[in-house]
Structure 1
Amino acid sequence: MNGALLTASGPSPLWYATRASGTVSLVLLTAAVALGIAAAGKYAPLRLGRFEVSALHRNLSLLSLAFLGLHIVTAITDGYAHLTWPTAFVPFVASYRPLWVGLGAVALDLLLAVALTSAVRGRLGRRRWKAVHWLAYAAWPVALFHAVGTGTDTRLSPQLALYGACLLTVVVAVWWRLVRAGTQADRVRRWATAGTLLVPATLVAFLAAGPLQPGWAHRAGGTTQAPATAPSTPHPSPTPQQHPQQDEHEGDDAE
C-alpha cells in the first residue's frame, strides 16, 4: 500500500521526459557544434564531401532544436516548476531557478536566431549569415551551464561523465580545427586557448561550489509550492513523508 501511494504521488512522466529531452538536446547540440568547428568547410575529412558534412551538421542542429522544443513543452506542461511560455523565451523572469532557467532561455534565443537567419540565408548574404551563425557556438556553453545548474542529476556519476564528454568533444574539435588551419589561425589561437581553458576551469569550480554540494536545490531557487497531489501545510519545509513528490523533484531536478 505504501509503495503504491509513493508511486502515485511521485514525479510525473512529463518530469522525466523533460530531463531526458534536455539531455538529448545538449548531446545533439554538442555534436553539431563540434562538427561545425572541426569538419566544416575546407577542413572536411577527405572521405566526405562538403555537401555530406553540411547535411549532417544541419540535421544534427534540427534534431537538437526538436528535442529542445520537447524539453520546453514537457517542462511547461508538467507544471511543477510553474514555467510559462514567456519564461522559455525571456531570460531570468522565471520564479523557479531564475538564473539557470534564464540561461536556457538565452541559449534558446541564440539558437532560434541562427535557425531563422538560416532560413533567409540567401537574402542576408554569406558574411552577415556567418556572423549570426557564430551565435550557435556561443549558445553551447550557455546551454551546458543551464543543464549543470538546473538539475541535481548533475550529482550522478553518469550525468557528470556525459557533461565531461560533451566538454571534451568541443575542446578537441577546437584544437583539431586550429591544427588543420596552421599559421592561418595564429591570430585566434590565443583566444581559443583562453576559451578552452576558461570554460572547463569555470565549470569544475562551479560544480565543486554548487551542484555537488548539499542544499543546492534550495540555494539555486528550486523550491516551489507543493504539487496539487500533496496536502497543504503551513510549514515552509515539509518532510519527505508529507510530500514525497516535492522531495523527489527537488532531489532530481530537470535539465
Structure 2
Amino acid sequence: MIDFFSVWSLIRASGFLAYFFMTLSLAFGLLNSLSIMKKKKAVLLIYHQTSSWFGLLTIVFHMTLIWKDTYVPYSLTELFIPFFAKNAPFLSAFGTIAFYLFLLVIGTSDFFITKLGRERWKKIHMAVIPAWVMMVVHGLAIGTDSSKSWALSIYAAGIILIIVLVLFRFVDSLLLRQSSQANKNNKSKI
C-alpha cells in the first residue's frame, strides 16, 4: 500500500493541485473577459485572483517537496535555474519557467498594475498562456502518473475547458469589433 502522506505522494498531489488551481484561475480570467459576463466581473475577478494565489502557493509547496525528496533530489540551483536539473533538464525547465511566468503575472497584477498602466500590464498578463501551456507539458511529460487514464482525464478536461473558453473569447472579441465598426459606420452616415 502506498503511503498517502509520503513526500512522493505529496509531490504528485501538489502537482495536480497546482494544475487545477492555475487552470481554474485561467478559466475565471477568460470568463471575466467575456462581454456577456459584465454583471459578474467582480465575483469572477475574486475567484480568478484567489485561485491564482492558491495555485502559486501550491507550486511553491510542490517545489519545496521536490527539494526535500530523497528519491530524485533536486538542489535549489536545479529548481530555480532552468535547464540545470539532472533529471529531465528540458522538462524540468518548463516547470521552472512556468513558475517564474506565473509569479510575474500574479505579482504585476496584484502589486504593480497601477504603476505599469493598463496596456503594459495587459501585455505582461498574456504571459499566463505560455506559462499554463508549459505547466501542462511539464506535468504530462515528467509526471509519473501522466500515462494513467485518470491523470490523462484530468489534463484533458482542463485543456478542453481552456480551449473552449479561448475560442469563446476570440468569437466575443470579433463580435465586439464588428459591433463597434457598425456603430462607427452608422454615426458617420448621420
- Kindly provide the amino acid, as one letter, of the partner of residue 150 in structure 2: P
Unpaired runs of 5+ in structure 2?
Answer: 179-190
Specify the alignment match of 1:52 in structure 2.
Answer: 43
With over 3 angstroms needed to count, the CA separation of the structure-2 counterparts of 1:21 and 1:46, relative to structure 1, is same
SS in 2 for 1:155: coil
Tell me which amino acid in the other structure corresponds to 1:28: F
> 1:174 aligned to 2:166?
yes
Alpha-carbon deviations, 1:24-81, whole Å to 9, x = none?
A: 10111111112212x2245252552x22111111011001101111111111111322
Alignment match of 2:78 (pick from 76, 82, 87): 87
Tell me which of 139, 143, 149 is aligned to 2:131: 139
Aligned residue pairs total 177
For 2:57 and 2:70, locate their aligned partners in 1 and report how far apart those are by CA, in whole Å: 21
AA of the residue aligned to 2:29: G
CA distance in 1, matches of 2:159, 2:11: 22
After alignment, is 127-136 or 139-148 more displaced? Answer: 127-136
Name the Cα RMSD after superposition. Answer: 2.2
- Larger radius of gyration between Structure 1 and Structure 2: 1
TM-score with structure 1 length normalisation? 0.64
Q: What are the Cα deviations for residues 151-170 of structure 1, in whole angstroms up to 9, with x where unaligned?
A: 23111110011111011010
Tell whether 2:152 aligns with 1:160. yes
Equivalence for 1:112 = 103
Is the 8 Å Cα contact of residues 12 and 78 (structure 1) preserved in structure 2?
A: no
Between 1 and 2, higher relative CO (CA 8 Å, sep ≥ 6) is seen in 1
1:100 to 2:81 alignment: no
TM-score between both structures, scaled by the size of structure 2: 0.85
Q: Cα distance 1:145–1:61, how it changes in 2: closer, same or farther (>3 A)?
A: same
Taking a change above 3 Å as real, the CA distance of residues 148 and 183 of structure 1, as seen in their structure-2 partners, is same
